[in-house]
Amino acid sequence: MRETFVATTTALLEEDPRTAVVLADISADAFEPAMSRHPDRVLNVGIREQLMAGVAGGLALTGMRPFLHSYAPFVVDRAYEQLKLDLGHQDVGAVVVSVGASYDASTSGFTHHSPGDVALLETLDGWTVHVPGHPDEVPPLLRAAARNDDRVYVRLSTQENSKAYNGRLEAIRQGWAGAPVVLAVGPMLDPVLKATADMDVTVVYTNTPRPLDAAGLRRLVSRDVVVVEPYLAGTSSRQVAEALRDLPHRALHLGVGRTEVRHYGRPADHARTHGLDEVGLRRSIGAFLAA
């Protein structure tokens, strides 16, 4: 996904004079060719993520469409105040593109983990959040973001599904009429499909959890809904509750737990610890539906 982001954004720099890229050292080497061709629109501010967000806000005020990029804990957690003020308070937009996700850089330790990035942006107004599940989903999301002036967050990951989808609350596997709905966000689709292979459920996919397609969810949910997200468990609980506010329903929200994992194994080890692998998801979803 990261390579696809670099290629797509480099092409946008050639096509659209409004496009700008602001970096804080991360991926600066990948953007060297673009920087040599567009030194006025590809800026590396060094290891200063708050400044990166501030510069993006300034560029947006001049009519530019800035893309800013780093690891999720640096571009969201660390620069949260600047995203809040230099973008949101000034009512300007930018495209924030992160790598690292919740624990892709698992062996780098908790400094490089960001299970709470989407939950942080949930506290701010006017953000669209994309969580692609396949590299082929990345270019159309970036190109659509380049054509407007909204505040957009694109969360890239090394975890990916085997197939790309459109991403707007699409039913991937249909259960019986009234079957429980399992909503998988981004790269959680493949683990969910494996975990529920012999369950009579409707598996639904989205790569755009913000804004959540409330009308689409209402059409699908009869009573039980399970939401599986690759970040902090319960991040989408408010939006799901609002979408189904007048419908009697049960909800289970699965994702990364709040307890810090201090043993830094592989990403797969973290997924297993948080119950986000096939075995853990099968256990949690099966127990919920059987209750």
- How confident is the prediction for the chain on average, in pLDDT? 97
Instruction: Give CA–CA dist 152/210, Å, rounded.
Output: 9
Q: Which residues pair with 95 in a beta bridge?
A: 67, 152
Alpha-carbon radius of gyration of the chain: 19
What does the DSSP assignment read for the chain? -HHHHHHHHHHHHHH-TTEEEEESSTTTTTTHHHHHH-TTTEEE--S-HHHHHHHHHHHHHTT-EEEEEEEHIIIIIITHHHIIIIIIITT--EEEEEESTTTTTGGG-GGG--TTHHHHHHTSSSEEEE--SSGGGHHHHHHHHHTS-SEEEEE--S---SS----SSEEEE--STT--EEEEEGGGHHHHHHHTTTS--EEEEES--BS--HHHHHHH-SSEEEEEEEEETTTTHHHHHHHTTTS--EEEEEEE-SS---S---HHHHHHHTT-SHHHHHHHHHHHHH-
- The mean pLDDT of 221-234, rounded to a whole number, is 97
- Whether residue 263 is predicted with pLDDT greater than 90 in this model: the reply is no
Other CB atoms closer than 10 Å to residue 83's CB: what's the count? 26
Instruction: Give CA–CA dist 145/244, Å, rounded.
Output: 28
- Whether residue 291 is predicted with pLDDT greater than 90 in this model: the reply is no
Residue 264's pLDDT band, with cuts at 50, 70 and 90, is confident
Residue 167's pLDDT band, with cuts at 50, 70 and 90, is confident
- Whether residue 138 is predicted with pLDDT greater than 90 in this model: the reply is yes
pLDDT value for 117: 98
Does the model's pTM come out above 0.95?
A: yes
Strands 181-185 and 170-173: unpaired
Q: Which of 16-25, 43-52, 196-205, 257-266 has the lowest mean pLDDT?
A: 257-266
Instruction: Give CA–CA dist 204/169, Å, rounded.
Output: 6
pLDDT value for 47: 95
| Residue 264 CB partners (closer than 8 Å, separation 6+) | 106, 107, 108, 109
Instruction: Give CA–CA dist 285/271, Å, rounded.
Output: 16
Tens of pLDDT, residue by residue over 140-157, are 999 999 999 999 999 999
Residue 168's pLDDT band, with cuts at 50, 70 and 90, is confident
pLDDT value for 207: 98
- The mean pLDDT of 224-239, rounded to a whole number, is 98
- The mean pLDDT of 23-45, rounded to a whole number, is 97
Tens of pLDDT, residue by residue over 74-133, are 999 999 999 999 999 999 999 999 999 999 999 999 999 999 999 999 999 999 999 999
Tens of pLDDT, residue by residue over 174-220, are 999 889 999 999 999 999 999 999 999 999 999 999 999 999 999 99
Structure tokens at 204: 């639904």
Tens of pLDDT, residue by residue over 82-97, are 999 999 999 999 999 9
Residue 63's pLDDT band, with cuts at 50, 70 and 90, is very high
